[in-house]
Amino acid sequence: MSQPEQSAPEPRDLPPGQYVPRGWPVLHYGPVPKFRPKDWDFRVFGATASGEQYRWTWDEFDALPTTTAVADFHCVTKFTIPDNEWTGVSGAAIVELAPPAPDVTHVMVWAEYGYSANIRMSDFLADGTMFATHRDGERISPDHGFPIRIVVPHLYAWKSVKWVRGVEYLVKDRRGFWEERGYHNVADPWREQRYSYQEDEGESPPP
């Protein structure tokens, strides 16, 4: 029996409803911010263990120890970008450097122009969650979040905030930008948690 020269690509395991497009779409609300290294800082605030805020300049942040992880990237508009190699500062590293108070359950990730996304502390600490500076060995481009974007690869990509400037520790969950506009508070693509009307008890912020 003759074999085809090139076998068809292996079907991948995608979350329900997702497809792999050509290229890497750019998707965001509002303009791409200009990076001004002298004015840029990264802050951790809210319910820290010490009650103090933490602040890194760009040079300080860019010198923090990094990790690398390979992961797919799932947008709620149904495209999935497979096999991204991300390098950056893990959520766990930030929590170690800026310890949260014991009753912190969630974080709000804040970007330029007030974009935000809330994630559970367990998602922030998960393997693969990081403030990425590089994708596939190259600096992230301005369109994709330069100088840093968080990637939370196991959640829909609106939680993967571009142009991040800070993290707020929360003792009470609160909705971020898209979560306030009808998107799911948790956003697990494998459970197709797209819209807020799908939230089960315990998945929504307290009133």
Which residues form the interface with ligand MTE (CB under 6 A)?
Answer: 24-29, 75, 111, 115, 144, 157-158, 160-163
Distance in angstroms (rounded) separating the CA atoms of residues 80 and 22? 10
Residue 22 or 51: the one with the smaller Cβ distance to ligand MTE is: 22
The CB-of-22 to ligand MTE minimum distance in angstroms stands at 13
Residue 11 or 137: the one with the smaller Cβ distance to ligand MTE is: 137
75 contacts Mo ion (rule: CB under 5 A):
yes
Distance in angstroms (rounded) separating the CA atoms of residues 174 and 118? 7
For 185, the 3-state DSSP assignment is: coil
CA dihedral 64→90→167→135, nearest 10 degrees, is 90
Pick what 44 binds: Mo ion, ligand MTE, none; C-beta below 5 to 8 Å, kind-dependent. Answer: none
- The owner of tokens 């329900």 is 16
Distance in angstroms (rounded) separating the CA atoms of residues 185 and 108? 12
Distances (CA, A) of 184 to 74, 177, 193: 14, 11, 6
Q: Within positions 128 to 157, which residues make up the interface with Mo ion, using CB under 5 A?
A: 157
Pick what 194 binds: Mo ion, ligand MTE, none; C-beta below 5 to 8 Å, kind-dependent. Answer: none
Residue 152 or 157: the one with the smaller Cβ distance to Mo ion is: 157
Pick what 37 binds: ligand MTE, Mo ion, none; C-beta below 5 to 8 Å, kind-dependent. Answer: none
Binding site for Mo ion (CB under 5 A): 75-76, 157-158
